[in-house]
Amino acid sequence: MRHFTNVKDLGDLKQAVAEALEVKANRYNYQHLGQNKTMLLIFFNSSLRTRLSTQKAAMNLGMNTMVLDITQGAWKLETERGVVMDGDKPEHLFEAVPVMGCYCDVIGVRAFARFENKEEDYNEMILNQFIQLSGKPVVSMEACTGHPLQSFADLITIEEYKSKERPKVVLTWAPHPRALPQAVPNSFADFMNETDYDFVITHPEGYELDPRFVRGAKVEYDQKKAFEGADFIYAKNWAAFTDPNYGQILSKDRNWTVGVEQMALTNDAHFMHCLPVRRNMIVTDDVIEGPRSIVIPEAANREISAQVVIKRILEGI
Ligand code: AN0
Ligand code: CP
């Protein structure tokens, strides 16, 4: 594998999950791969899980790690070409990225959608500049349109917890006070559509996701109907994708908050969320603390998804 930006980079998903389970059981067996290799993690946005789990994965593989919060302590970066740089940005991304590439063997990048320009977000401008200019393999640690390390961990978790071959998996929108990107639901749909699960997406009208990610998935506007017989409930907020409302909040309807009443409609479903989660907006205390909540093992699998991805990259360099 050269770069990791979406589900396709993993190839056969059954093989990828099998490899993940092997890595999980023997995570320190591959230390020779990362000897004298350095992983650089660049964050344009906050993170708890991605920051720690990706570093841990690299360390499991014998790598050295460096982390830079690029908006704190580094020079403020210009991203547009042709700008007369007489403002508050002393450095251009076009120099900063190749320089960062000089100091490492693999680069992880987190750069969320900015909601200023839909085309720029959906063209993954920053992630692609790292791919084009760093000269090094690039791992998406959540870019504008996807968070594949998260969705790979989600898939591993579902495979571990499913009690039937073809579970019903429901992605539900839930309310949130701030506008959040579509990266997590986009990637989740992208991965689920590659499985043979019964996959359903439910959200209020106006929250339709990019059809390139939804593809053949069922979309059900009635959350209660969608929850019937579900084996896994995957909650997430996202802001509107469709024009003219791109990046806007259209609803904060707390009837969509996942509570015990909604969960009672399911087939004793497991509750999932990528975290961080706002309690009693996205999900009630009772559900997230309940016996069917698997948010912590789901987060633990972030170390494993990252390790498989970095391992495959190291095997190719
Ligand atoms: C981010 C998001 O929704 O994309 C990161 C989730 C992993 N969440 C927040 O900004 C709260
Ligand atoms: N789920 C996830 O990516 O969490 P962080 O934003 O804390 O990294």
Secondary structure (H, E, C), 9-50: HHCCHHHHHHHHHHHHHCCCCCHHHHCCCEEEEEECCCCCHH
Residues 30 and 48 in one domain: yes
Taking only the tens place, the pLDDT of each residue in 38-57 is 999 999 999 999 999 999 99
Query: Is residue 153 located within the same domain as residue 32?
Result: no
Bridge partners, residue 200, by sequence? 170, 218
Of 197, 92, 181, 200, which Cα lies nearest the Cα of 142? 181
Same domain for 23 and 165: no
For residue 180, the ligand closest to its alpha carbon is: 1
Q: Is residue 204 part of a domain?
A: yes
Asked whether residue 37 falls in the same domain as residue 112, the answer is: yes
Nearest CA to ligand 1 atom 9: 180
As a whole number of angstroms, the distance between CA 287 and CA 263 comes to 8
**pLDDT computed for residue 303 by the predictor:** 99
**In terms of domains, do 104 and 158 share one?**
no
pLDDT band at 145 (very low <50, low <70, confident <90, very high): very high
What CATH number should be reported for the domain holding residue 116?
Answer: 3.40.50.1370
Is the beta carbon of 299 within 6 A of some atom in ligand 1?
no
Work out the burial of residue 102: count CB atoms within 10 Å of its CB; fewer than 13 is exposed, 13-18 middle, 19 or more buried: exposed
Q: Which residue out of 140, 209, 249, 274 has the highest number of ligand 1 atoms within 8 Å of its CB and is therefore the one to mutate?
A: 274
Shared domain for 31 and 41, answered yes or no, is yes
Q: Are residues 66 and 153 in the same domain?
A: no
pLDDT > 70 fraction of the chain, expressed in percent and rounded:
100
Which pLDDT band holds residue 258 (cuts at 50, 70, 90)?
very high
| Ligand 1 center–CA 184 separation, angstroms | 8
Residues with Cβ within 8 Å of 45's Cβ and at least 6 positions away in sequence, in order, are 110, 111, 112, 142
134 lies in the same domain as 156:
no
Name the band, by pLDDT with cuts 50, 70 and 90, for residue 270. Answer: very high
Asked if residue 256 and residue 168 are part of one domain, the reply reads yes
Model confidence over 4-43: pLDDT tens digits?
999 999 999 999 999 999 999 999 999 999 999 999 999 9
Q: Is 153 within a domain? A: yes
User: In the chain, how many domains are there?
Assistant: 2
Give the structural domain span for 310. 7-146+302-316
Q: Helix (H, G, I), strand (E, B), or coil: what is residue 215?
A: coil
Q: Residue 51 Cα, ligand 2 centroid: separation in angstroms?
A: 8
Looking at the fold, whether 130 and 186 belong to one and the same domain comes out as no
Under the banding of pLDDT at 50, 70 and 90, the label for residue 220 is very high
Question: In this structure, which residue's CA is closest to atom 4 in ligand 1?
Answer: 181
| For ligand 2, atom 1: residue with the closest CA | 274
**pLDDT number for residue 122:** 98
* Sheet strand arrangement including 64-69: 64-69, 38-43, 106-110, 138-140
Q: Whose CA is nearest to atom 3 of ligand 2?
A: 50
Residue 126 lies in a domain: yes
Q: What is the pTM of this model?
A: 0.98
What pLDDT shows up at residue 36?
Answer: 98
Do 37 and 65 lie in one domain? The reply is: yes
- Residue 154 is predicted with a pLDDT of 99
Average pLDDT over residues 176-190: 98
Ligand 2 neighbours, Cβ below 6 Å, are 47-50, 142, 150, 274-276
Beta bridge partners of 139: 4, 108
- Measure the CA dihedral 300/275/210/191, to 10°: 10
Work out the average pLDDT over 265-290.
98
d(CA 284, CA 307): 32
Decide if 212 is inside a domain. yes
> Does 2 map to a domain?
no
Q: How confident is the model at residue 59 (pLDDT cuts 50, 70, 90)?
A: very high
Is 232 in the same domain as 130?
no
Q: Considering only CA atoms, which residue is closest to atom 6 of ligand 2?
A: 47
Q: Are 34 and 58 in contact (CB under 8 A)?
A: yes
Question: Is 32 inside a domain boundary?
Answer: yes
Mean per-residue pLDDT for 279-287? 98
Q: In this structure, is residue 260 part of a structural domain?
A: yes
SS3 54: helix
Distance of CA 294 from the midpoint of ligand 2 (Å)? 16
Q: What is the average per-residue pLDDT within 121-135?
A: 97
Q: Name residue 114's amino acid.
A: R
Task: Establish if 134 belongs to a structural domain.
Answer: yes
Q: Is 274 in the pocket of ligand 1 (CB under 6 A)?
A: yes
**Residue of 154, 184, 298 to test ligand 1 pocket, by largest number of atoms within 8 Å of CB:** 184
Residue 110 CA, closest ligand 2 atom number: 8
Dist. CA 277 → ligand 2 center (Å): 10
276 CA → ligand 2 middle, Å = 6
The string of pLDDT tens digits covering residues 150-167 is: 999 999 999 999 999 999
- Measured in residues, the chain has a length of 317
Judge if the beta carbon of residue 282 lies within 6 A of ligand 1: no
- Residue 201: the pLDDT is 99
**Helix-strand-coil split of the chain, %, nearest 5:** 40, 15, 45
